[in-house]
Structure 1
């Protein structure tokens, strides 16, 4: 989102009560596209500010890379919600808000006297969204509702780990925090759907996303596979249970991915490999034939890739066969695609003399482009500005700060 150019969500006010990864990622998506996201955090700061890494010359440690990445474009209001004055300030903010997002355990906001029903009375058009491990009783009381959950729990229970790994005895956690990030993306979608409804009707609602449910939906393939076959899918390494060949293959200097989801791609691949007769071989003619002889089909491709570098394979396959090298972070930084798409952006890091790089939004829009316009905030950096805009006088702000209601 270029400086001075509003995003598609300009004019939308979001109250962000989230911590860790799932909630902040959700509200980050909204902030990246122009929403005014007011991050409400404890007076001593969001605990994730202490997570690294930190630049080598940063001695202030306002926040590390973990916090910087998913809290960019936001305002910070440090507020103690356990104090009556803090609750009153939140209610005042809610009256003029469009969205509120939280990811506490079920019942926490209710015990604070700030549950959905209370806030909806203050603002009937409010879209209130929660992201929890096992959802909220308002939409279905899970027997697991009181259990805490993080990414690894959602990956394990939702099936992602159960179909990832070198073999059926070795389930493996997926590297990125998909147990947080995918629920976050679904919550952002749900928020915008509910916001659209509220804009048309004036009627707000409760949006509930469970991390467990989200990963089950991400692993939709295993659901229908079990229904159709009666067998639970298991990890199958880096190949695909339905398509062949479709996975990773060794190169002379690393690994590459090749996918042939259609028989025409297999024909192209066999020609490039110098083995055109394989396209008409009854063992490999169709995808189902290749699946039945997967070990032989994969071995044939491996035999060809193993003696070539990643660059040589890329040149040989060109645009004829789906292909991609297995990239490191350094490879991603060096890929000109990243520069053209402006996917890696530099932002200031308070306490450091040099900027740092974070990933930008992958959602591109031609009229209202989103993006990163400012770094993550320091604790309470915008407390005074937000409260002054709310109509709180300077004397009252000073009194609230002295009572440690705000920071």
Structure 2
């Protein structure tokens, strides 16, 4: 029996055939569109004449004299094309409108109202492209979905982490809320926007009708911190920072090692029994003060003391030999240890790309979503500013002389 033929070229990615006009900057928006690009979507990044603000944010390679972009931009803009357009000019706005008319998706993360002032509101764009999926990620969402009293407040990762409840349960003690290290206040909303966009695209393919997809950074962070909502609702208590412990599970957190820390998470009594034997305390597997999770939560400090009596005199590697594969366990890695770990090499999570202006390639994080038939990939480095302006405009139907004239007029770079 003949096998069905693939609908996209081999190696093109599951989203091949989707065209995205990317009007985003900084982290949340570019992270979302990069996920789409990793999986084969054609992403046209529309930048201001001076470029995305993260182009000037390092770090830069020591020998990079070009400095078109550094590590920040490289890490979240791979697999994209860049065109530089003056959106304050009539010609620039007309270019963007024409590109959007031929696109499946547009994504932006301006403050609410900016696109309306440019004449590029969703309601305007859908008149000529009814199948358009329009995605936004803003600090406090778009008024179309419910106008927040903070709708005009600018926001970054640290703001959404604070107001979404994440910092309020993170820190060494109840009085010291702490920022999470990576920009999860941007990247988690970006992933939720990506899910929303793909859901809307699926619907548009069935009905021919696009829709507006709105994610507030604060909403996404709150959704990720879902436990604080039910804890307050069910018990009336207000969760606070818990250090490296868990309020409902024990042991579940970080423990001192001779050369750092390790994580151990025994969410079941069966895992606890294995851990108790591994640390030389089999008596604690059957003692009624420790045999059940509820008992261990009540006696958490004694549990922690018993584990750290074992762990603090051993290195992370030695503990891994004792616990790895037996209970949920992992050493707390530095980036240097991540670079040395074979897991990340075999999973292709440290990918080498060209850095324009430098003789030495650099490494960025790879594609974490693994598809068996149409895998995503890092196909090309991040683009230089306006690197693809001519190619994109020629493909959109502009003539060579029109491009020359628009460049002379300052509408494009």
Q: How many angstroms does 1:244 deviate by?
A: 0.1
Q: 1:120 maps to which residue?
A: 126
Q: What whole-Å deviation, never above 9, does each CA across 1:115-172 have from its counterpart, x for those lacking one?
A: 1111111200000000000000111011110100000000000011000000010000
- Counterpart of 1:77 (choices 83, 89, 93) is 83
* Equivalent in 156, 169, 172 of residue 175 of structure 2: 169
Give the TM-score, by structure 1 length.
0.99
1:301 to 303, 307, 322: 307
CA distance in 2: counterparts of 1:103 and 1:164, whole angstroms: 27
1:238-257 matches, within 5 Å, as 238-257=244-263
Moved more, 147-156 or 301-310: 301-310
So what's the TM-score if we normalise by structure 2?
0.97
Determine if contact 1:94/1:122 at 8 Å carries over to the other structure. no
Residue in 2 that maps onto 1:178? 184
Determine the structure 2 residue equivalent to 1:341. 347
Q: Residues 359-398 of structure 1: matches in 2 within 5 Å?
A: 359-398=365-404
* Residues 100-115 of structure 1 aligned to structure 2 (within 5 Å): 100-115=106-121
Moved more, 29-38 or 269-278: 269-278
Check whether the contact 2:84–2:385 (CA below 8 A) recurs between aligned residues.
Answer: yes
1:254 CA drift (Å): 1.0
- The runs of 5 or more residues in structure 2 that have no matched partner are 1-8
Q: CA deviation at 1:4?
A: 6.9
Alpha carbons 2:82, 2:384 under 8 Å: kept: yes
Q: Does structure 2 retain, via aligned residues, the 8 Å contact 1:91–1:122?
A: no
Q: RMSD of aligned C-alpha atoms?
A: 0.9
Among residues 155, 158, 169, which one is paired with 2:161 in the alignment? 155
User: Which residue pairs with 2:219 in the alignment?
Assistant: 213
Partner of 1:406: 412
Ranges of 4+ aligned residues in structure 1 off by more than 2 Å: none
Give distance in 1, aligned partners of 2:332 and 2:53: 34
Residue in 2 that maps onto 1:275: 281
- Judge conservation of contact 1:103–1:130 (CA < 8 Å) in 2: yes
Q: Distance in 1 between matches of 2:155 and 2:187?
A: 13
Preserved contact between residue 324 and residue 330 of structure 2 (Cα < 8 Å): no
Matched, 1:13 2:25: no
Distance of 1:271 and 1:48 partners within structure 2: 51
Which of the residues 92, 99, 124 maps onto 2:98? 92
Q: Secondary structure of the residue that 1:200 maps to in structure 2?
A: helix
Mapped to 2, the partners of 1:55 and 1:28 lie a distance apart of: 22
Is 1:36 equivalent to 2:52 in the alignment?
A: no
Task: Sort the Cα spacing of 1:182 and 1:143 in 2 relative to 1 into closer, same or farther, 3 A.
Answer: same
Q: Could you list the runs of 5+ residues in structure 1 that have no partner in the other structure?
A: none
